[in-house]
Amino acid sequence: MSYVNFTNVIRDYKQGDMTIRALDGVSFELEDSRFSVIVGPSGAGKSTILNILGGMDHATGGTIMVGDRDITRLSRRQRTTYRRDDIGFVFQFYNLIQNLTALENVELASHIRSQAADPKAILDEVGLSHRLNNFPAQLSGGEQQRVAIARALAKNPKLLLCDEPTGALDHETGKGILMTLQEASQKGMTVVVITHNTAITPMANRIVKIKSGKVESVIDNPSPIPVSEIEW
């Protein structure tokens, strides 16, 4: 069943007198509880898709349905609530609060969400139960990204959106992160990963290819490969 539905989404950015069209009629669907990858070269507009889907940015035209809700119609305040309750974000550079420990970073998320998961349990799930009281600076890149994933998951979001989650990590560590994300989707989380790395597409249920602000193709993968078997 389709959970996310982009219909003819347009995003224009005004720069002085010029208008730059980042998304030029993007339409695709993403399935519930599946692992989807949006792939494309830099500047294709995939981050814009993620930002709009995550309620950080808004579309200029078209409709985006998440569940039975049209998120293009949300007010500023509603979008904040939407981010808080429905969305978990994971970034390339983790964006942890440096001054908070791993546990506290997760608590920061659970603090504002009424139906939050137990922060310690979530950190345990991503394999960091022994690093609860460490500050980000004391953690490796992979560990930091796990904290970021835990922070996103702690809110019990409907969508987990990841923007180049392995971009700043080495091969092995990246694999570990992808494994964690795949596990999450297997437990029922709807995961969307953005990447320019086509090598990881075999692990996804659905692959949306973006080029120059347009959808080039949507490919369904009936039998995703476990991350451990992927090499790039």
Partner 1 sequence: MSPFWKDIYREIIATKNRFISLLMISLLGAFVVVGIHATAIHMRDAADAAYRRANLYDLQLRHPLGFTQDDVIAISEVYGVEQAMPANIIDVYVYVRGVRRVMRTYSYTGPNLSSSTSGIIDPVNAPILLEGRWPASRGEIAVERRFLREGGLAIGDEVVLSHGDMARFFTIFADDTFTITGIADSPLYLTGERGNTTLGDGSIRYFAFVYTGAFVSPVYTDIYVIMNGSRDIHQVSDAYNAAALKWRTQMQDFLSGGIGGFVFTRQNGIAFESYFQDTLRLESVGYVFPLVFFLVAILVSLTTMTRMIEEQRGQIGIYKALGYRPGAILLKYISYALISGLAGGLVGAALGSQVIPRIIFDAYGHLYSMPESNHAIPWRVAVVAVLSSVASVTVAVIFTCITTVQGEAANLMRPKAPEPGKRVLIEKIPAIWKRLGFISKVTSRNIFRYKRRFFMTLAGVAGCTALLVTAFGLGDSIGSVARLQFEDIVTYDARVHTRELSYAGQAELLVLAMQPGHAADALFIRAMAADAHTDAGGFPATVIVPEDMTRLADFINLVVPSFGFMSQSRFSSPNLMVNYRTFTQPGVIVTEKLAREMGIRAGDNFTITMGDGWSYTIYAAAIVENYLLHYIYMPPELYSYLFGRALRPNGLFIAGDINTTALREHALVLGISNTTWMRENLTQQTDALGIVTIVLMVMACILALVVLFNLTEINILERKCELATIKVLGFMDIQTAMYLYRENMVVTAMGIAVGLVAGVFLNGFILTTVEIDMLKFPHIIFPMSFVLAGGISLLFALVVNVLTYRKLVAIDMVMSLKSVE
Q: Is 140 in the site for partner 1 (CB under 8 A)?
A: no
Q: Is 116 in the site for partner 1 (CB under 8 A)?
A: no
Q: Is 11 in the site for partner 1 (CB under 8 A)?
A: no
Residues 44-63 that bind partner 1 (CB under 8 A): 47, 51, 54, 56-57
Q: Is 174 in the site for partner 1 (CB under 8 A)?
A: no
Q: Is 107 in the site for partner 1 (CB under 8 A)?
A: yes
User: Under rule CB under 8 A, how many of the chain's residues touch partner 1?
Assistant: 36
Residues 73-102 that bind partner 1 (CB under 8 A): 77, 80-85, 87, 89, 91, 93, 95-101
DSSP characters over the chain? -EEEEEEEEEEEEEETTEEEEEEEEEEEEEETT-EEEEE--TTSSHHHHHHHHTTSS--SEEEEEETTEEGGG--HHHHHHHHHHHEEEE-TT----TTS-HHHHHHHHHHT-TTPPPHHHHHHHTT-GGGTT--GGGS-HHHHHHHHHHHHHTT--SEEEEESTTTTS-HHHHHHHHHHHHHHHHTT-EEEEEES-GGGGGG-SEEEEEETTEEEEEEE-SSPPPGGG---
Q: Is 156 in the site for partner 1 (CB under 8 A)?
A: no
Which residues form the interface with partner 1 (CB under 8 A)?
A: 47, 51, 54, 56-57, 77, 80-85, 87, 89, 91, 93, 95-101, 104, 107-109, 111-113, 135-138, 151, 155
